[in-house]
Amino acid sequence: MGGVSIVDLGRAPEAIPRRVLDHLSGMGAVVVATPESGSARALRDAGIETISFEGLGVPEDATTDRIVEAIRALADSGDVALAVDGSAPFLEGVVLGLAAGGPVVVVPAASPLAPAPVAAGTGFAELLRIMALLRAPGGCPWDIEQTHLTLRRHLIEESYEVVAAIENGRMDELADELGDVLLQVVFHSQIASENGDFTIDDSVAAIIAKLRRRHPHIFGDAIAHTPAEVTERWDRIKRDEKPSQGALDGIAHTLPALTYADKVSRRAVAVGFEWETVEDVWKKVHEEIEELKATDAGTPEAVDELGDVLFSVVNVARKMGVDPEEALRGTCEKFRRRFADMERAAAAEGHDLAGLGIDEMEALWRLAKEGERGREGAGPVGTDRPDGPDIEGRLDA
């Protein structure tokens, strides 16, 4: 019983590398799609004998499974190499079939780090092929040992990097980071396919069906004139899809806390549990603050009441049409910019910021704040220092 290897000549240099020729020379048979294929000609020029699918007794209209079966049968009597070069699109299915049916060794003629152009419309299939090969026996040890659980943090990290690229306005970075997220989708789908759970086709079919179902104003006879009407109908359809679920079921508890709170609040509002005005929410905020002030620091009661304050503020944000996650993230970034300005200003005077007193730090903070507002074209900022640190001023717009 021999083994099967796949030799990728698609990016081979003009002269096939010696290591590849040595590998092929040790094979019992080297298979090519047709005698006229690019890989067949390159191998003939290098003195390597080949056998085509026709030579294996496989007709031109044979299915992928039939071709895979013929190559596996040939391997019963010795090692077999399948030489591919990308000239025959159907070979992708053959490669995937071989990888799924048993141990396969992949031998690239060129370094896998070398740039390889991907023809329009073929990239997704190539990504699926590569992922299958990485996970196949004889593939990458790291990729093979991954599970849905071990990949969780990678999906989260890649998603945050997409958000960072969007906020930076760098479209080249965004294209790259979206590819990293797509890899995670394909990775999980490949693992699920190997386990017999589902395939990437199932995921694609599910989202297509969902988009059609939740856009009846596009794919049906419903009418929606505003984004608000679309959102309201989307939420209603989503509830109808799972009538046995409660209004708050299905919200991922792993979301960032502010986003989680916002989703919980919006789901409750969707069924009518809502304050009439934002002033009513403000009353609730002040009530929760008073309850928090009445607790002892570090106690479970303090934790509970602080959570109530934050949840109430999230409802204020919702009432005011503000995304609380984006608002807090923006404030953190603003604080970082101003603090960095403070550090630079202190260093310019030959000081370490950590060695300065609070009055000196406060003066630097005001300068940083004024400088930022000046860069934004805002009016002058007062310089009178309040009795305590300018905490409110640090957080205002």
Q: For residue 397, give the 3-state DSSP assignment.
A: coil
For the record, the structure tokens of 330 come out as: 């923006």
Tell me how far apart the alpha carbons of residues 325 and 359 are, in angstroms, rounded to a whole number.
32
β-strand partners of 52: 32
Tell me whether residue 98 is exposed, middle or buried, using C-beta atoms within 10 angstroms of its C-beta: 0 to 12, 13 to 18, 19 or more: buried
Per-residue pLDDT of the chain (397 residues), as tens digits, is: 788 888 877 655 467 888 888 889 999 999 988 888 878 888 888 899 999 988 999 887 788 889 989 999 999 889 999 988 766 555 667 877 787 777 777 776 665 544 455 666 778 988 998 899 899 888 899 999 999 999 999 999 999 999 999 988 989 899 999 999 999 999 999 999 999 999 999 999 999 999 999 999 999 999 999 999 998 899 889 888 887 788 888 888 888 899 999 999 998 998 899 999 999 999 999 999 999 999 999 999 999 999 999 999 999 999 999 999 999 989 999 999 999 999 999 999 999 999 999 999 999 999 999 888 777 654 433 333 334 434 333 333 3
Whole-prediction pTM value? 0.54
Q: In what order do the strands lie in the sheet with 51-52?
A: 51-52, 29-32, 80-84, 4-8, 104-108
Give per-residue pLDDT as tens, 282-292: 999 999 999 99
List Cβ neighbours of 144 (8 Å cut-off, separation of 6 or more). 134, 135, 137
Q: For residue 102, give the 3-state DSSP assignment.
A: coil
**What is the reported pLDDT for 141?**
93
Which secondary-structure segment (H or E) carries 66? helix 64-74
Q: Are 302 and 295 in contact (CB under 8 A)?
A: yes
Question: Cα–Cα distances in Å, from 388 out to 155, 159, 334, 338, 384?
Answer: 44, 40, 21, 19, 11
